[in-house]
Structure 1
Amino acid sequence: MIGLVLAAGAGRRLRPYTDTLPKALVPVGPEGQEESLTVLDLTLGNFAEVGLTEVAIVVGYRKEAVYERREALEAKYGVKITLIDNDKAEEWNNAYSLWCARDVLKQGVILANGDTVHPVSVERTLLAARGNGQKIILALDTVKNLADEEMKVVTADGQGVRRITKLMDPADATGEYIGVTLIEPEAAEQLAEALKTTFERDPDLYYEDGYQQLVDDGFTIDVAPIGDVAWVEIDNHDDLAKGRTIACRY
């Protein structure tokens, strides 16, 4: 199993940082030392802490910044990094971005969005949930109060995920998908097909819409509640401020 990071997005709501950097390289270090830490740093550190030695990163927007830092990141975290180019990063949404990593999925991955600040306990929770035939396990926050923007999930006992979408009444949701997934090798082919179906239907769709396609096709996607932990998806400057307060704890 290897680590996989989706880091191709532009993150336009985080300008001026993202004028020159992809979202995953926006600094989240403590005030006065912001440049010392990024979301990508935190994710690579988590992967290394749970014993992953190889990481693939899907890059697109301002990808040269990731290429420039690759060797330093490999040395810092003791991982081998493979970069996968997304040629449509500024045109299409991330269903296509994850599909670009379809060959990597065959190795089994822990997937992390490049904008999610979270503790290593999330990866540990996913790894601990393996072993009962699950092929895909989503990290789920069942504690947070939800609103319209969150990627909401509905589960059913013994059936796993039934719905995953932002377009849902928060009161109906079991919890929020935080952007971290464990994907076993056995799921790779079906997931790649579902992602392809999804972005061919509409290139603006999310990879979570690909998960919904799998569910609609009869595939079981499981969840692992992460407990009461601090995390944030960084979409805008308010999220970034929160991310900085969280990152310093980990």
Structure 2
Amino acid sequence: MAYVKVDDIELFYEEKGSGLPLIFLHPPGMGHVVFHEQRKLAKHFRIIVFDMRGHGRSELGSKEFSIALLANDLNLLVEALSIKEAVLIGYSSGGSVAQEFAIQHQEKVAGLLLCGGFSEVSDPFLQAEFRAGKALVHKMKVLSWILAKGHARSEAEFKMLRSYIVSTNPYLLENFYEKGRRYVCTNKLSALYIPFMHVTGERAFYFHRYQQIYKKYVPESKLIRVSNSYHELPTKSWRELNQIIYQFATSIELNRR
């Protein structure tokens, strides 16, 4: 566990393992703890998880919130940790930050894996989720219960996730939901020339249309749907997701040799 000075804030991060760096980006409210099962990948890679500004143990700062600001925070973290190139794994809206970083700093991205990510929020179901999240940011006990319940497989995991979610700054969270809902990078995807994968659950039906968008704009992208799974892959289907991440990152390593 450590902190690094990033722009106007102290950013909390954890790293474990060695080898090819894998950096995980969480969605609004969840913090780095949503990736607690992905730490097992440290047997094979250098795993880095962190709390974005205003989340968990990271400071909020005073700058106007934007997806680009979070991507800049990530860039400064990468520089502080002397990372030349990393595989980015963005979960849900964390994928928006990952995509923005890749668009701005493609030379620093060895590969991009989106877990239930999207380049725009253009369907009514996802729009409704964002609006519901924004409406509940000042009722953190309710929002934290919903998010933790959706991800947890046990009472202990529920308590762990919920206790971390309630520490999120409500102002930051409100902006993250709103700016995340409005974020669009679809027309910039064709400029990406990096290994690209999109993973979603077979039953997360309204994320399937985004796979078609990626297939159109990133023709070489690899698309995977995890059987009998919904959106909450990092916790509810962590074994399958970890295996997918392992294979994706290993293929990148092999192609470099």
TM-score where L is the length of structure 1: 0.33
Q: Which has the higher helix share?
A: 2
Q: Which has the higher strand share?
A: 1
TM-score where L is the length of structure 2: 0.33
